[in-house]
Structure 1
Amino acid sequence: MLNHPYFIMHFPFNIFLLPLLTFSYSLHAATLSSSQSVLAQGSSLLVEKKDHLVSPNRLFTAGFHQIGQNAYCFAIWFTQPMADGKVTLVWMANRDEPVNGKQSKFSLWKSGNLVLRDADRRVWTSNTKSNEPMQLKLLDSGNLVLTPINSKSYIWQSFSSPTDTILPNQPFTKDTTLTSSRSLTNFSSGFYSLYFDNDNVIKLLYNSDEVTSVYWPSPWLVSWAAGRRTYNNSRFAMLDSKGHFASTDDLIFDTSDYGKTLPRRLTLDVDGNIRIYTLNKRWWSVSWQALSTTCAIHGICGPNSLCTYSPVSGRTCACMHGYKAKNHSDSSSGCEPTFNFTKPPENYDFIKLPFVEFYGFDSGYSAKSTFNECRKTCLDDSNCKAFQFNFNEGSGSFACYVKTLLYNGFYKGTPFNTYLKLPKTNVLSYNENVANQSKLECSTSVIELKRPYEKNSANGTLKFMLWFSIILGSIEVVCFLFFYFITKAPSSTTTQAYLAIATGFKRFAYDEIVKASRKFSEEIGRGGGGIVYKGKLPDNRVVAIKVLHDAMQGEAEFLAEMSTIGRINHMNLIETYGYCAEGKHRILVYEYMENGSLANSLSSANKLGWQKRFEIAIGMAKGLSYLHEECLEWVLHCDVKPHNILLDVDYNPKVADFGLSKLFHQDVREDSAFSRIRGTRGYMAPEWVFNLPITSKVDVYSYGMVVLEMITGRSPSCDQGIDYDETMEQKRLVDWVRVKVHEARGNLAETQIMEILDPMMKEETEISQMKNLLRVALQCVEEDKDARPTMSEVVKILLHSDKDY
């Protein structure tokens, strides 16, 4: 009110008119078109009449809000417009499916159900039902609640299903997620999400059709190093009215203006950053934000682009040399190459991008490499787009990272240097002193609905003729289709346009699978999930073809799961080339691994030395860490064992069959516990047996069992008949190893090491590595899941720890 133009221009005089102006504003708010505070049962809010609900304190309004041309959402917003005349939305019921500006209505049915109808269909519903008299109320907190009359209990509330904003004292729990808007002018769901993951930590996730990655807290840090705590199960956070935020994962802070009770909001903005805003004199000021380096937000400029930041001009997205913008009006679309990568290696060269890093998507990594070796690796790989060559102070050597996708590019500073792969003609035309002019702008798209409306005053004769024509035309179409299908030979493949997957896999017809596998003639493995055959694709790629036993899953459901797996990309996870979902057949096509499974190698004499086993343990941990902490939260393996760890020609490990427990079975309860036991005897965590909630820690336990098997050479799937004490009964592998460690009082001597170690490795073992790996394995197989480390912590320990027992 203090920003009223008249008040500002005549302040000395208007001090006496303040009560009158306040009364005038309240009167205006109270007389908004068809506004009210409660929606009674059997009543509706109509879009044409601009019906509204207003909170008793007049701070919030709920109703139809225009978000585009003839496009409306049922929303909640701050009643007072900002200085630019716009209102601030805090919740939307139908952000991804706007309704028309005519004949749309929001109703409280007599059954107790809230229903939002478009001009011609139902768009949104609360799915509630009650025999008691109900009412819909907008509270002073901004919470829209459905409650029985004369009762304080809620059967539905908007606070339980936020969009991109939470308000003071609104709980943020394991069941709620914030999703950013697509752009400043397009309020549909965007690419960024804020959520509690399975390790009880609040995280920010970038999720596009092509890639998925966590970027806050920093994914290369373990939880404790990022100031977070995983040892909690409640998963609860809240911002209070004074500006204090507290979460059960130890994310605790105060806003810069903490202490005063002011209108505030925590919003996941379109750029993927979380900010807390405080309302002051019709302006929103930022009082806290999660990331100060906006270019560190994943996907902010789309693929094949570079992000730069200046305090003056802010964030800028630009295409690299040799690339052009996909969509000049939308920076999130990124850039695309002006060439292709199909030419022979000798046609390409590199340009240096000093201080530039592209985080993630390393198809290859070498801890010790020369520049020429790294350069040649990228040239020989047709999928390589660039390579990163950095000096690692910890190891005192140069590391090589081969990049197959160029995401998250920005100027990070020393020691990062990226070498961009381009045709030699593009390299010759590159001038590093000339800035790339192919700039990308934020999206300015506006939603527009174009639908005809039925005219209620139409002439009766015209209606009759219209319906007669429709019925006659329908009969003709049915006859034509009947004749067409009875005369047409049946197709050998199902329709592929029915449910597209933006993953880059190929969808194979069953006939193609039969041909590639030579009628399933060469079996190379089998398990509980299915039988694996060797095959060869028309482009001469050798593949592994897995025919799944469980063929009862619906096609749409199977394709939806494949869409998620298709966005997973890591050097220690098996690559999926394609799939078949035709009739009752559910088949996966994987890359072929020359050295088979870890189980086969462990059972073969002198095949795996100590160093290879240690590197396999690190690679397994990296793959599982990626699944647990950089993908969608449901990706748990649930069956980690040597048979599901495959080895390539250089014995690099790749985790296989990840996600198949979810693919096969959809009976997951709300408490994160599965309804039946998964996994293989000997590798299963105690949670399965005692029906405890299933988290990523079940994979950690199984990983520990696999590592113990690699160290000892003994399988945990059966009791070990080891005569370590005549008076003791036979014990399992874990108990036996713990006894040996206990006998040594935590300080393993060479005698105990030789007793534990696989006899095939006793002469070549690195003692300090063995002790560290054994320590990690025993931590992973703790009975209490909270005592086990996360997989990212395991990776850090194995890569950087030099402590012994």
Structure 2
Amino acid sequence: MAAFVLPHLFFLFVLPYFSVAQTNGTVTVGASLTTEDATPWLSASGDFAFGFHQLDNKDLFLVSIWYDQVPDKTVVWYANGDNPAPRGSKIELTADRGLIFSSPQGEQTSISDPIIGVVAYGVMNDTGNFVLVNKNSELLWQSFNQFTDTLLPTQIMENGKFLSSRQSESNFSRGRFQLSRLNGDLGLRTVNIPGNFRNNPYYFLSTGNSSGSGSGSSSDTLVFNKSGDLSILRDNGQELVLSRGDDAQAYDFYHRVTLNFDGVLTHYSHPKAKTGSSSWIVLWTVPVDICLSTVEDAGSGVCGYNRICRINIDRRPECECPRPFSLLDPADDYRGCVPDFVQDCVNEPSSASNLYDFYRVTYIAWPTGDYDQLEPYDEESCQEACLTDCMCAVAILKGNICRKKKLPLSNGRLVNHYGTAFIKFRKTNSSQNPALPVPGRNNQDGLVILMSAFLGTSVFVNFILISVMCIGFLLIYRYKLTTIGKAESVVERNLRCYTFKELLDATEGFKEELGRGSFGIVYKGVVQMGGSNIHVAVKKLDRILQDGDKEFKTEVNIIGQTHHKNLVQLNGYCYDGPHRLLVYEFLSNGSLAGFLFGDLKLSWNQRTQIAVGIARGLVYLHDECSTQIIHCDIKPQNILLDDYFNARISDFGLAKLLRIDQSETHTAIRGTKGYVAPEWFRNMPITVKADVFSFECCFWRSFVVGKMWIWRLVEREQF
């Protein structure tokens, strides 16, 4: 009996100590974690966790500290970003070396170097700081002294320290951007990796603007206090506040300042309560437009070589390869873009014009790298000068000045009223070397040889040849007729037919919502096209006629036949059981409404360009495509903008599929209240002028331009 009772009494006696050890954040010497452990080392409040954070590659882990109460488990510190830990790795707290990382092969490295003294225990604090102390509670090491990409409240950054961005949202390797304290200057810089050379700052925090120079001293300190205020504490006692939290609500919110992988420094907050917003809220960000702030004499700029930087509505840069360039490494955006062709050296204008042509693009600028300047020049002479120059990749004409640029191009960005860029590309049907014989002469020589052979053969052989040729022509003719018949089916067209499972996987379970409209919800997805991953917009049609199978196929067939630069292109569809979905090209600039009613405003030149683009798209739908299409719902939310702010009309051709009782006005009207034409209210026949009326209302309210000018522009097709 005693043998049974005594162990249980002992267990009851020590149980409170185990409970304290699990809730006060203390980690004893000898404690360890493995990649298979579900429970990390938690702080007393449970807000922060230390352990192995699983990456997208399920077999790799990050030794890190993260917000454990936030749904996405936001990582705020990490130790092995360049070399993620494989499955089977281990962390152990030792007395002599502190935190020791062991690989599955038994190789050991110290995470907490240097340690001077003997570690008594570790503590995961509620500030997010993991510390190691001796038996006298004296600090031996702390994670706050090993900076990664994030500052937490109560953390300070002294001279010589820096934050380093990660390589991408999910890749924690060292990135290209730094927030550094050098010689008293606190600035954002790019770094030429894999080396450590820092380029000149593209933004100074010590002056509060992007064009000045640093004015701090080496004793200035960057302080992120417990109230969520980010400020510079000068050696003379003055405090320069960069971003404020809310002192009254400081304990109701988590705060962090992160140097994002794209070079933007951002102050975030997140409510601690389980209800309310489930995402981080942006309180402050610098620079406001990193695309225009960063100009480097050396280095590739924000986006990498031969890329274009543009700012989105969230003030974050988005990078694209201009035509005719493609990503050098799809797994690493910042390695830049390379041309899709090999440029030969052709000095003769006639030969060069047979081989090369230009993409004419406005608003694109590469402010550095001019190697030649010509004036006074017009468009034709500027293009010709680049065409016959073996080094010229791009010519930019601004006014009467023609500037030639060679590869690689750096610091590319969108700039209003910058000029016109002529990007040289090789014609796809001109792959032959101009030094080779003329193709026409080859054809003539071949014809002579064929006729000679034909006339030199016997009559019987000629009869056999003629018979075979006639049968061949007959088979080809019948095949063409069959192909034309099949082409009337949606499935046989260029549109891809997806299963619902494919689109469910492509959108990660319809995770990221892009917008909502009369026909359903639009989600962002990624599909494979031509061997590469392509972003798409997937529209779930949840308000269409359920029994209109034939009508759905007909309308999708019509939409798939439309091709115009001012229409959103349909790439595929889903017709799987009760599921009806459409797959469109993805336009990352979003809708026109986001610019009209948001913080970022369009210039008048851009507004005019967009108005004319929509007018062109409507004329095509009304008069130029094979089947006339009346949109019925022209509004800013249905006008999308491409990378160069060209207008693209979406949701055309779907009005016939919308259930009348599900239209936004809850009447027989198809369209959005405030934009519909009077005909809808009077039971009059609906014509293309219903779209013209909606277009007029849309731009009268949003663009504040003359009604009659817009009406005449569309009615007379003057563009």
Shorter-chain TM range is 0.3 to 0.5
What TM-score, normalized by structure 1, do the two folds share? 0.43
Larger relative CO (CA 8 A, sep 6+): 1 or 2?
A: 1
What TM-score, normalized by structure 2, do the two folds share? 0.48
Which of 1 and 2 has greater Rg? 2
